[in-house]
Amino acid sequence: MASSSNFPTPLATGYPPGIDFGPVASFYDVLAGVAFGGALRRAQRAALAAGLPPSPSPRLLVLGGGAGWVLSEIWRQRPQAQVLYLELSAAMLVRTRARLRRSPPPPGATVELRQGTEAALRPGEQFDAIITFFVLDCFAAAALPAALARLEAARRPGAPWLVADFRPAHRGWRRWLLKAMYLFFRLTVGLRTRQLPPWPAELRKLGLHPTHKQYFFKKSIITLIWQDVSSAELVEDELSQ
């Protein structure tokens, strides 16, 4: 069953004001497939396979899920998952609703579609996993700590935080790829952020550490599962290379 709760003026603690992915909603998934050859979806599938809680019906928070493709993959792996789907773009939510009409949640699964960002979380909401796929790269660096802290407050103790995103690059083709992406989204959706914010360092400040990593698209994309664990269980990542 899919339900919707809309916020007329969704405020974001980390997104720049004025950002709206509506202009690219109709072709975003196609563009991502052409540009990255399916790597973005492979990274998301890998993160879900490695990081979803073993419970058959986990309570999951998806932030910035776009047009809803990831819901089908979540339910393929956890057919009874209970999902809160936070998405800032009204146009993306329209496409997600259309997708759900074509492919409804499986029996026992639920999804609430809510327009907004982490600022739209309600007091006391708690989740068995936090899922942020290709969304942390949109946050303003100065506001990132408060935004992540808000998400952390909704994470149940021991719950994993699943991330798939781009890696920083200071030279070579990966550097120019990031510059081109930020320029494109600045022109099309009003994104004012010009470079990747230091989300790995900020997650570590929350006491989280990566326990799983996997690279995609010639190491320009990384999947990480973050948890509060002992140092013996950690993996290392060359995030700044």
The predicted model scores a pTM of 0.81
pLDDT at 157: 93
26 has pLDDT over 80: no
pLDDT at 141: 87
CA 67/CA 92 separation, integer angstroms: 5
**Each residue's pLDDT tens digit, 127-145:** 999 999 998 988 888 889 9
The residue among 187 and 74 whose pLDDT is bigger is: 74
pLDDT at 138: 83
| Nearest-5° Cα angle at 4, 192 to 124 | 80
3-state secondary structure of 85: strand
Say if residues 111 and 71 touch (Cβ distance below 8 Å).
Answer: yes
**Strand duo 161-166 + 221-227: pairing:** antiparallel
28 has pLDDT over 60: no
Q: How many separate helices (H) and strands (E) can be counted in the chain?
A: 7, 8
**Each residue's pLDDT tens digit, 42-89:** 999 999 999 999 999 999 999 988 889 999 999 999 999 999 999 988
Of 176, 205, 85, residue with least CA distance to 135? 85
| Nearest-5° Cα angle at 184, 162 to 62 | 20
Percentage, residues of the chain above pLDDT 90: 54
For 197-217, what is the mean pLDDT? 94
pLDDT band at 108 (very low <50, low <70, confident <90, very high): very high
**Each residue's pLDDT tens digit, 165-176:** 988 766 667 666
The token pair that represents 239 in the structure block: 């995030």
Mean pLDDT of the residues in the chain: 81
Strands (E), the chain: 2-5, 59-63, 82-87, 110-115, 129-133, 161-166, 209-216, 221-227
Query: Which domains occur in the chain, in start order?
Result: 2-233 (3.40.50.150)
